[in-house]
Amino acid sequence: MATNEQATATAVDDGDRPVVELDNVEIVYDRHFLAVQGVSLSASEGDIVALLGPNGAGKSTILKMISGIGRSERGEVTRGRVFLRGEDVTNDGANEMVERGITHILEGRRVFEDLTVEENLRCGLYRQGRRFQFDEDDYQIAFEYFPQLEDIMDLKAGYASGGQQQMLVIARALIHRPNLLLLDEPSLGLAPKLVRDIFETLVEINEREDITMLIADQNAKRTLEIADYGYVMENGQIELHDPADVLVEREEIKEFYLGTSSEDSRYTDIRHYKIRKRWT
């Protein structure tokens, strides 16, 4: 079965080949702790794909296994495969994934607090240790989308506001020049106005820089507004998936994530929406 699937993946034309593709993936942490089970998802070139679901559903785990950072936390893909443009990258380390053009923006605005904003951006220039020197032009792409950062270059990043820190981590990732950007909870703890601004900027980046994005967020409404396709996770499994405009209209989503339905029901009621296996 596995070989069959691989054959299909390699047979596909370069243009149609998804940037990232998970095939029936199971992720186990610490050899015992089953975090994610039977997840299949894919993101095509230039898409924004939303990964939705409550806390602990396994969204971050999936992003971490794609970027390879999960390996350093003793996570492992024990079943299924991860493909990047058709290449099997299952269980590869973070360094290898960075080299392939993946940048992961971790949850919780992880700026380097002791470093200034400028030094934070400078760290984005580091790729496999080849860079030593830098000049101001390297920051241009950051200022293009986040002009506010230019005014606070000498500020210690730890003292920047939440919004500025979120902009900073996205800007730092942009300087890193990825072709696939993984964003973990970019809206967490930010004022609605800021979330709107940042998501608008993400769309702009997606369109102009041709960066495919996979966004894990609890803010389903906002994320589906900018996404092309959406997956809804629950307890380590994908419960629903559809194009974003279809997903946003589905009753279950309205009820449980958007809160627009008046009817009172429990999530367990929609358990029968099992994922169709996309590979068969």
Partner 1 sequence: MVNWVTLIDISLSGLGLGALYALVAMGFSLIYKVTGVLNFAQGQIAMVGAYGVVIFGTATVLPAAIPAWAAVLVTVLLGVVLGLALERVVFRQFIGEPVLSVIIVTLALGSILEGVIFFLYGQNAQAYPEALTFGGQLSLPLGTSIQAAYAVAVAIALVVVAVLMLFFRRTVTGSILRASASDEQAAMVLGVSIERTIALAWTLSIAITAIGGILLATSSGGAAVSIENTGIIIFAAVVLGGLDSIPGAFIGSIVVGVLQELGSYYLVGGTAVYVPFTDIQANFGAGFGEILPLVLLLVVILVKPYGLFGTERIERL
Determine if 129 is a binding residue for partner 1 (CB under 8 A).
yes
Query: Closer to partner 1 at the Cβ: 106 or 275?
Result: 106
Piece of the chain touching partner 1 by CB under 8 A; list 2-10, 101-109, 205-213, 252-260: 101-109
Query: Closer to partner 1 at the Cβ: 130 or 193?
Result: 130
Piece of the chain touching partner 1 by CB under 8 A; list 17-25, 114-122, 197-205, 228-236: 114-122
Determine if 100 is a binding residue for partner 1 (CB under 8 A).
no
Strand order in the sheet with 102-105: 102-105, 180-184, 212-217, 48-52, 229-234, 237-243
Helix (H) or strand (E) holding 171, with range, is: helix 162-175
Q: Shortest gap between Cβ of 189 and partner 1 (angstroms)?
A: 17
Q: Within 10 Å of residue 88's Cβ, how many Cβ atoms?
A: 14
| Separation CA 219–CA 232 (nearest Å) | 12
Residue 125 · residue 175 · CB < 8 Å: yes
Determine if 246 is a binding residue for partner 1 (CB under 8 A).
no
273: tokens are: 């929406």
Among 4, 10, 87, 114, binds partner 1 (CB under 8 A): 114
Pairing of strands 229-234, 180-184: unpaired
Pairing of strands 75-84, 20-29: antiparallel
Query: Closer to partner 1 at the Cβ: 58 or 101?
Result: 101
Torsion angle of alpha carbons 278, 232, 243, 40, nearest 10°? -20
Q: Shortest gap between Cβ of 131 and partner 1 (angstroms)?
A: 5
> Residues binding partner 1: what is the number (CB under 8 A)?
33
Which of positions 158-177 make contact with partner 1 (CB under 8 A)? 172, 176
17: tokens are: 């080949």
| Separation CA 145–CA 61 (nearest Å) | 28
Determine if 188 is a binding residue for partner 1 (CB under 8 A).
no
| Separation CA 211–CA 208 (nearest Å) | 8
Determine if 30 is a binding residue for partner 1 (CB under 8 A).
no
Query: Closer to partner 1 at the Cβ: 17 or 104?
Result: 104
Q: For residue 243, give the amino acid letter.
A: P
Among 98, 171, 198, 205, binds partner 1 (CB under 8 A): 98
Q: Shortest gap between Cβ of 31 and partner 1 (angstroms)?
A: 16
Chain residues that interact with partner 1, rule: CB under 8 A: 67, 69, 72, 94-95, 98-99, 103-106, 110-115, 119-120, 122-129, 131-134, 172, 176
